[in-house]
Amino acid sequence: MGKIDSRLAELGIELPASNPPQGNYLPYRKTGNLVFIAGQGPRNAGELVYKGIVGQDLTLEQAQDAARLCALNLLGQLRNACDGDLDRVTGVIRLAGLVRCTVDFEAQAKVLNAASDLICDVFGPAGAHARIASGTHALPSGMAVEIEAVFEVATDA
């Protein structure tokens, strides 16, 4: 068991099976030592778990749970991109998140903090990243949160 897998176990985290793309795109794309992970929604086994508008249908706490699930799905895709070896991750570069919310909801950063905290808990100092947290009126399938990411990895041997 690798260092990151041990850390996941220590945190009581089991990564969900990767969700298939919901359209004509790749779940991740590698170029050089970067892995770009396509936007991940709050899905479990392909089923949307958090649907609705934050500040209307969902609370801040539910939106944070949705963001954590998105982060877990990012890590699942990353594991696939790294051929199962998350120890190849040398840094987290950027998270970009969208929160489907009411026009007066202003806590998008607090929603995304849940994903950022999880990523930092897993990767330690290598998990520090740049980020954007934005609000929007609509997301695919009515999902409440969607997050994409860029990771740096050791190149294939």
Domains of the chain: 27-153 (3.30.1330.40)
d(CA 123, CA 5): 10
Among residues 65, 46, 45, 28, the alpha carbon closest in space to that of 145 is found at 65
Query: Residue 7 has what pLDDT?
Result: 96
What is the distance of C-alpha 72 from the center of its chain?
Answer: 6
Q: How is residue 125 annotated by DSSP?
A: G
pTM for the structure as a whole: 0.96
The overall average pLDDT reported for the chain is: 96
SS3 118: helix
Residue 98 has pLDDT above 70, yes or no: yes
156 has a pLDDT exceeding 70: no
Q: Write out the H or E segment, with its range, that includes residue 119.
A: helix 108-123
